[in-house]
Chains A and B, each alone.
Chain A
Amino acid sequence: MIELIKKPNIDFLGKRYIAFAFSGILSLLGLWAVVGIYTGGANLGIDFAGGSSVQLKFENSILLHDIRKAFEEKGIKDFDLQDLPTENKILIRMKKGEFTMGEFTGKVVTILEEKFPQNKFVIDSTTEIGPKVGGKLRRDALVAIIVATIGILIYVAFRFQFRFGIGATVATFHDVLAVLGVFYIMGKEINLILITALLTIAGYSLTDTVVVFDRIRENLRTKHNEPAVTVMNLSINEVLSRTIITSTTVLLTSIALFFFGGEVLHDFSLAMIMGVVIGTYSSIFVASPIVLLWKGKMTFAKK
């Protein structure tokens, strides 16, 4: 049998204050991103902010500079350009209000056909979202997250103890905030695809945490005379190889997605890679220490 680590015995909880500091910074980063989202500082996707975007695929290579000039000559301002030079793809984005719905694509096509008659292009995708829809999508996502959190809190509190519910929730939020924060710092677009990735990460992180808690509960039943810290450390060490193996397999899938999954899933898989790493860390260094912060005796009746 191949073993990653033979009988590990690492004092994870002894390092909890370092972990708290590190996680504190990550979470603050995430909260900063949330503030950014609500104050308009974040690079919100069209789906949340409203506005229009068109992605075009040209036959031959084209310079962003030339396109920018073509638009500016036609008096179009406040647009963003992004390119995918390897595939001759250009993404043109426009914040809300500049055009009435349904007009934007036509305008873009007319201008580009006029300015670059030799370089033919096809429309890859267009997105136009009114401000009302953006607001609704934002609100819906928020409501879904809040209700899901409450549901998990109740279930974990019911299956374990209330403090475990808190631990699981905090650890999950920590992961989501951390990834969101990193994306925010990187100036990446915050859109529905990222939200889906964050939800997936939350799912993984939660599973990881529940597995650790499960072992703690089990060990508490047989070793109720030992201090909680010892039992927790023991439990985390016991499930360590499982934690690492599962994370490895998910990481393998995410890396495959990152390199081969195509442009649309690119940011999704990047978020997943970060999320798996952070989620693994938090199930070890965040979830249990949070439970430990709670004063009082931690007992589970023997089965």
Chain B
Amino acid sequence: MKKKFFWRILLISLTTLLSVIFFLPSTHSFLSMPGWLKKMIPEKGITLGLDLQGGLHLVFEVEGDKAVDLTLEQTARSLKDLLDKKGFTADVKKDGSNIIVSSSDIKARKVLEDNYPALSLSDSSEGRAVYKIPAQEADRIKENAVEQAAETIRNRIDQFGVAEPTIQRQGTNEIVVQLPGVKDTQRAVDIIGKTALLEFKLLDEEGIAAQLPETILPEEEEKLMQEFAAKIPEGDEILFEKLINEETGKAFKKVYLVKKQTLMTGDSLTEAKVNIDTRLGNEPYVSISFNAVGAKLFEDITAANIKKRLAIILDRNVYSAPVIQEKIAGGNAQISGRFSIDDAKDLAIVLRSGSLPAPLKMLQNVTVGPSLGRDSINAGVKAGIIGSLLVILFMIFYYRFSGLIADVALILNIIMLLGALSIMNATLTLPGIAGIILAIGMAVDSNVLMFERIRDELRLGKTPRAAVDSGYDKAFWTIFDSHITTLITAAVLFQFGTGPIKGFAVTLSMGVAINLYTALIGTKLVFDIINSKGEVKKLSI
């Protein structure tokens, strides 16, 4: 072997070897390999996209405005408490995006502004002041809400148990959740999307409450709300408990008149777990525990409201409304509501991982069943092999020995592309496969361009060595230009494209780059080696 080829051969062998090593973990046979070998090569390889593997792709929008709304409500409540404690007679109300404080005492305002510097005074008149949350502060709340929502979703999914989930923020207020291989998709969607705002409120059992029907059918809800809209007291609201008639299987709703004021939320919850109530026909329920502060609050609330009914409300649905028999100390409570065991487990998960700071709105939900994904891969691989075989045979038929060289280059190309994608831990999707097909097509094209040029030169009567050299030189810029234009397209698509288009761009740009390498170094090397062994009389091309 001549020394001038040594480095090029070494380079190509090394890159091929590395590619194989990096690609190995992506194959099935990796699992059956001996442990010592596994330790030596990196574990991560190409990940299959959801369209190939099956799974769930969700995009949620965090409704930040509602988080701001909620903050305003809480602030109004604590302002009122503060003023009450300091002995002012004041009325604090949340009105749209404002907090309105009505108090004849001008000192009340001073107290407010000292304790809540974040609020800005937007309008004031005799005995009345209107406060706003400044835009900057509102933005911060929204930003926090998205961050916290992503964190909460991550918690819930971890507890639900999904291998390699992806939870990412996208844009200003969106969260992308990808769960590969999930089978029970509806359950996963429910667990993620539940706001899980747990509230304890008192029932209002006086006055109008007696006129309300005890139960209604789901479709009667609107009518009921219209009928009673003007009649219910200002501090009250109507909420429902969803129930199912066990004999007929029909859904119905139990009607409750509830005081709007939230006595306590699930904020101070430390534990939620599923228990089975053996007395009532093995019905599962969720038992919850509060931290010290929560326990004290719960004790106070129950002590002050003995013989009244306390509604346990989750996401504006009443789960139960037991009568408080006595003061409950120790910070334990339970939520029962005719759950199935899975429902109870899911509820425990969402309660444990905390409530979402704002409701989520689903923007996108794409599910691919595992069988379709498997079919797609099998079909894709089969088509890929058949297509490649056709091309390989065609090249040998048309270009003879040179065709064989091109085929070897083509196979090296595919190996290196897979290796490169493995190094990047790229995700392979269907559009990604399309990108690979385009890249392979271009790899063949590079060789065709070179061979046609070499043939041209041979026709002009040049010797094989001269024909290879000048044909190669002339083809170089053509190959270069066509690859660069494709690379420009791929780069732009990567930068500006979304999801599937990005996957296409990744494989295409990698493929094109590797192409330049194998065509311009690999194929040329083989020809150079052939020509170096004395003057070849005839080139098989």
Take A211-B478, A241-B452, A246-B448 as given contacts and tell me if A253 and B369 are in contact as well, using a CB distance cutoff of 8 Å: no
A55 contacts the other chain (Cβ, under 8 Å)? yes
Contact present for B496 and A152 (CB under 8 Å) = no
Q: Evaluate contact between A192 and B492: CB separation under 8 angstroms.
A: no
Q: Whole-angstrom distance between the alpha carbons of A262 and B387 in the complex? A: 14
Q: Are B383 and A126 in contact (CB under 8 A)?
A: no
B508 smallest CB distance to A (angstroms):
7
Do the beta carbons of A1 and B455 come within 8 Å of each other?
yes
Interface stretch, picked from A198-206, A224-232, A290-298, is A198-206
| A199 and B485 contact, CB distance less than 8 A | no
User: Which residues from chain B contact A246 at a C-beta distance below 8 Å?
Assistant: 441, 444-445, 448
Pairwise interchain contact A144-B496, C-beta atoms closer than 8 A: yes
Q: Is the CB of A199 within 8 A of B489?
A: yes
* Residue A88 at the chain B interface, CB threshold 8 Å: no
A36 within 8 A of B: no
Contact: A264 with B488, CB < 8 Å?
A: no
Closest to B455 in A: A1
Interface-forming stretch among B24-32, B310-318, B337-345, B359-367?
A: B359-367
Contact A2–B482 (Cβ < 8 Å): no
A155 with B485: in contact, given A241-B452, A252-B391 (CB under 8 Å)?
yes
Which residues of A are found within 8 Å of B367, using beta-carbon distances?
105, 123, 125-127
Total A residues in contact with B, Cβ cutoff 8 Å? 73
| B-contact 0/1 string along A228-247, CB 8 Å cutoff | 00000000001101100110
Q: Does B264 contact A (CB under 8 A)?
A: no
CA distance A130 to B174 in the complex (A): 13
Q: What is the total number of residues of chain B having a CB less than 8 Å from a CB of chain A?
A: 76
**Complex: chain A residue closest to B370, CB-CB:** A122
Please determine whether B489 and A148 come into contact, CB atoms closer than 8 angstroms.
yes
User: Shortest CB–CB separation between residue A56 and chain B, in angstroms?
Assistant: 9
Report whether B398 and A261 are in contact in the complex, using a CB–CB cutoff of 8 Å.
Answer: no
State which of B369, B400, B501, B541 has its C-beta within 8 Å of the C-beta of A199.
B501
Asked whether, in the complex, the Cβ of B488 is within 8 Å of the Cβ of A141, the reply is no
Q: By the criterion CB–CB under 8 Å, are B496 and A140 in contact?
A: yes
**Chain A interface helix/strand/loop/mixed:** helix
Q: At the interface, yes or no: B386 with Cβ under 8 Å from chain A?
A: yes
Stretch at the interface among A24-32, A67-75, A131-139, A180-188: A131-139
A105-B186, A123-B369, A210-B481 given; A196·B501 CB < 8 A:
yes
Q: Does A265 contact B (CB under 8 A)?
A: yes
Contact check, A148 vs B482: say whether CB atoms are below 8 A apart: no
A-side contacts of B445, CB under 8 Å:
207, 242, 246, 249
Given contacts A249-B395, A260-B386, 15 further A-B contacts (CB under 8 A): A125-B368, A126-B185, A128-B364, A133-B364, A147-B495, A148-B493, A152-B489, A196-B431, A200-B435, A249-B391, A253-B440, A256-B390, A259-B383, A262-B380, A264-B379
Can you give 20 A-B contacts (C-beta < 8 A)? A105-B186, A105-B367, A122-B369, A124-B371, A125-B367, A127-B366, A130-B362, A141-B497, A147-B492, A151-B488, A192-B431, A192-B500, A202-B489, A206-B482, A207-B485, A257-B437, A261-B382, A262-B379, A262-B383, A263-B379
